Amino acid sequence: MTHMNIDDLHAFLYVAQHRSFSLAAVKLHLTQPAVSKRVAALESHLNARLFDRIGRQISLTEAGRALEQHARRILAEVEDSRRAINNLSGTVSGPLKLATSHHISLHRLPPVLRRYLPLYPEVQLDFSFMDSEQACRAVELGELELALVTLPPANSTPLTVIEVWLDHLVLAVPTDHPLRSEITITPNVLARYSAILPGRGTYTRQLIDTQLAVTQLEAKFETHYLETIKMMVSVGLGWSLLPENMLEQTLLLSQSSPIIVQRRLGIVHHPRRILSNAAQAFIALTMAEAE
């Protein structure tokens, strides 16, 4: 009997996650037939079908569901063993898989990378750009070692959370907006005007909804990209709450009772996974850069 292959387990998990052989192939930088071959080899080894294929729909069989949690644990232990052995050398090298939100990549990450890259040239950075919620999930699943994100609400995640930056979301208003004539700005006043806000379900939107506490607050437009929201505000489509450091003076509104929402930005990693020297150095340098 052949031994179970680590690469076959990787392929299986990517297909299980994306419910697609073609998407798994893209993520693994393989051809679709190569992914299918690896899954077939695993099915042959286990003498069990792992996926039901009905038309274009793919779903896990009972055997596939049983294997999924064990496969994640096996691959996590293999990766932890590799990191532990590599860490013994004391060198900062090897792969570092991490993700960052688009906002952090534009406004917080550049000075960190400018210092990190020349200090640790033997680290192979593998960057992904994704929403904070998606990145946190990928860290939970062991697909990423670190993520730089808008941090989840307190006590809502099993991940280790390291706060690095505090973002002040302030009122952004077009130059000719009626809000500029309001004497006092309150959440109830804001609710009378069209808003452009992050999508429901995002950590940032949860913070806005919780801190404003206005049940009738409805967004005319929703998008996950703050740069897009800024553009929509600037052309007069509505007001929003955006990080102060990305706004020009013309979009800022200074009035009595200002509306400010604070959100925490930082790093998350899995508490039960061994951090590589590369990851530890990245965290330390990020914290130092933020001081």
Place of tokens 């800024």: 230
In this structure, are 98 and 182 located in the same domain?
Answer: yes
In this structure, are 172 and 260 located in the same domain?
Answer: yes
Domain boundary among 77, 104, 134: 77
In this structure, are 103 and 185 located in the same domain?
Answer: yes
Cβ distance 140 to 251 under 8 Å?
A: no
Query: Residue 83: inside a domain, yes or no?
Result: no
In this structure, are 17 and 97 located in the same domain?
Answer: no
Closest CA to 221 of 195, 241, 186: 195
- How is residue 204 written in tokens? 């940032």
Q: Give me the pLDDT at residue 256, please.
A: 59
Query: Residue 29: inside a domain, yes or no?
Result: yes
Query: Residue 185: inside a domain, yes or no?
Result: yes
CA distances from 46 to 6, 212, 274 (A): 14, 54, 30
In this structure, are 135 and 48 located in the same domain?
Answer: no
Domain boundary among 77, 98, 133: 77
Q: Give me the pLDDT at residue 255, please.
A: 62
- Specify the CATH number for the domain of residue 263: 3.40.190.290
- Specify the CATH number for the domain of residue 20: 1.10.10.10
In this structure, are 118 and 185 located in the same domain?
Answer: yes
In this structure, are 222 and 255 located in the same domain?
Answer: yes
In this structure, are 115 and 258 located in the same domain?
Answer: yes
Query: Residue 177: inside a domain, yes or no?
Result: yes
Query: Residue 39: inside a domain, yes or no?
Result: yes
- Domains of the chain: total: 2
Q: For 56, list phi and psi in degrees, rounded to 5.
A: -95, 0
Bridge pairing between strands 160-172 and 240-243: antiparallel
Q: What is the pTM of this model?
A: 0.80
Per-residue pLDDT of the chain (291 residues; tens, 9 = 90+): 456 789 999 899 989 988 999 999 998 889 999 999 999 999 999 999 999 988 778 899 999 999 998 898 888 888 888 888 888 888 999 999 999 999 999 999 999 999 999 999 999 999 999 999 999 999 998 889 999 999 998 788 999 999 999 999 999 998 889 988 888 888 888 888 999 999 888 999 989 988 888 766 778 899 989 999 999 999 999 999 999 888 888 888 766 557 888 999 999 999 999 999 999 999 999 999 887
In this structure, are 205 and 264 located in the same domain?
Answer: yes
In this structure, are 136 and 202 located in the same domain?
Answer: yes
Query: What three-state secondary structure class fits 207?
Result: helix
Query: Residue 251: inside a domain, yes or no?
Result: yes
Q: Give me the pLDDT at residue 252, please.
A: 86
* Residue ranges making up the domain that contains 19: 6-77
Q: Give me the pLDDT at residue 2, please.
A: 54
CA dist 169 and 42 (Å) reads 49
In this structure, are 28 and 121 located in the same domain?
Answer: no
In this structure, are 16 and 100 located in the same domain?
Answer: no
Cβ distance 75 to 5 under 8 Å?
A: no
Domain boundary among 33, 52, 77: 77
Query: Residue 20: inside a domain, yes or no?
Result: yes
CA distances from 232 to 15, 122, 195, 240 (A): 37, 42, 10, 9
Query: Residue 237: inside a domain, yes or no?
Result: yes
CA dist 113 and 117 (Å) reads 6
Q: Give me the pLDDT at residue 1, please.
A: 43
Bridge pairing between strands 123-129 and 195-197: unpaired
